[in-house]
Amino acid sequence: MPVTPTRWLAEYAWLPEHAEPTPDVLIEVEDGRITAVAPLTPGSTPPAGVEVYGDAVPLPGLTLTGLANVHSHAFHRALRGRTHGGRGDFWTWRDQMYAVADRLDPDTYLALARAVYAEMALAGITCVGEFHYLHHRPDGGGYDDPNAMGAALVEAAAHAGIRLTVLDACYLTSSVDGRPLTGPQRRFGDGDAGRWAERAAAFQPADPHARVGAAVHSVRAVPADQLRTVADWARERQAPLHVHLSEQPAENDECRAVHGRTPTALLAEHGVLGPHTTAVHATHPTSTDLTVLGDSRTGVCLCPTTERDLADGIGPARRMADAGIRLSLGSDSHAVIDLFEEARAVELDERLRTRRRGHFAPLDLLNAASVAGHAALGWADAGRIAVGARADLVTVRLDSARTAGVPPVGAFFAAGAADVEQVVVDGRVVVAEGRHLTVDVPTELSSAIEAVTPA
C-alpha cells in the first residue's frame, strides 16, 4: 500500500459553515487527525508554522469531508435489479429479501458485506451504520459465537477501509399485535428484549474502526412493554439508538388499531425518542408526530432512493427541518449507493411535492450527508474539514462528463459516486484514481451475490 501523505493541497475544499467551497486549501494531517486547515486564497495568511506548499500533494477537483451512510442493510445489495419484474409494494419486495436472508452465513455475509462496504468507499462513504438483525442460524438457533454475524460485518468494514457502527437490532415479533416470527424471520429473534440485551452486551469489538449501537427494528417487531429495555440499554452506554418509523401507512394503521396511537407516540411513551435516537424513514408522520420528534431532539434518517424504489412515499423533509429535526441520509436497501443522489433527492422530492424550488441550500445537503450522519452513528469527531476532526477527505472530479463546467457549489446537483477520485479515511488513502486499493469491487460483488442469490 502506498505511503499516505500528510499534506494535501485541495483545489477546492468545502469547509464547515461555508456556503460555498473555498479555493486552494492546504490540509495537514497527523495520526489520522486534521492538524491544520489553511486557505491560501489571495490576501490570506497561513497559520504560523504552516509551510505554504512544501511537499503537499495536489487534490484536483472538490474535496469534501467523508460522507456517512446512516442506514444500511448490507445483504439487500444482492437484490439490486432483481425486484422489478412486476407489480407490488414493500410487502411483496420483502418476500424476495427474506429469500436472500435465508441463504446467508458468517462466511458468505463477510464476503458480501466486504464488497458492499468497498462499493461505499468508492462512493466517498467513510462511515456506515449497519442496521443488523441477521443474528442467528436460519432455523433460529445460535451460532457457537452468538455474534458471529456481527463480527463478520466488523471484519468486512476493516477490509473495505471504512468505519462501522453496528446497530444491533432487537426483532421479536412479526406484527404489531405480537404474532411470532416464522420462516426466515426466526433468525432475527432473541426471544425477548432481555436476552437481546445480553447478547448485544457481549458484542464488544476491540477494533478502533467499529462501534456498537442499538436498534428497535420497528413497532411491529418489538412489543410495547419491551421497548424501554432496548432504550435503556442504549442510554446506559450513551450509544446510538435507531428505529424504523412510519415507513408505510399500514404500520401506522396497525399501531393505532392495537395501541390507539401512532408509532411515534408509542415510542415517546416508552422512552425510545431523544437526542441519541434516529428514526429511519418517518415517511408518514402526522403533524403531531413531527412536533414530538422535534421537541425530543430525535433525528431522522431519510433514504430517498430506497423509499422511491419500494414505493413507500416521500417524507416531509422541509417540515421536519422546520420542526428542528436534524436530517441525515442512508442508502438502506442499496438500490443505489450514492450519497450525492440521496442528498439531492431531499431537495428534488420537495420540488415534486410542492411544485416549488429552493427548499434546501447545498450546505444543508452536505451537512445531512456528513456531519449530521456521523453524529447519528456516534462519531461526533468526524464530518468536518477542521482542525481536530478525523482526517476523512473525499475528492470529487470537476472535469468528468457530469461535472464539466459545473461550479464547485453545484456538485450535489451534478456529481455522482462515479466522480469520486480519492478517499481518505482517518488519514489513510483507501481509494485512489477512482479505484479501491485493496478490493476488486465489481468482481467481489459478482461472486458474493451469486453465492447467496436463489436460482
As annotated, the active-site residues are: 281, 332
Q: How far apart are CA 24 and CA 11, in angstroms?
A: 5
Q: How far apart are CA 251 and CA 259, in angstroms?
A: 12
Q: How far apart are CA 330 and CA 399, in angstroms?
A: 27
**Cβ atoms of residues 207 and 163 within 8 Å:** no
In the numeric block, the cell 476493516 is attached to 158
Sheet holding 393-396, edge to edge: 33-39, 22-30, 7-13, 57-65, 393-396, 420-425, 428-432, 435-436
Q: How far apart are CA 307 and CA 373, in angstroms?
A: 18
Q: Which of 453, 420, 412 is nearest to 79 (CA)?
A: 453
**Cβ atoms of residues 272 and 222 within 8 Å:** no
A 10 A CB-CB count for 297 gives: 14
Angle formed by the axes of helices 362-369 and 339-354, nearest 10°: 130
Q: How far apart are CA 67 and CA 33, in angstroms?
A: 16
Return contacts of 89-97, CB within 8 angstroms, 24+ apart. 89/248, 89/310, 89/311, 90/247, 90/248, 90/310, 90/311, 90/312, 91/250, 93/310, 97/333
Q: Which three cell numbers stand for residue 175?
A: 406484527
- What separation, in Å, do the N-terminal and C-terminal C-alpha atoms of the chain show? 38
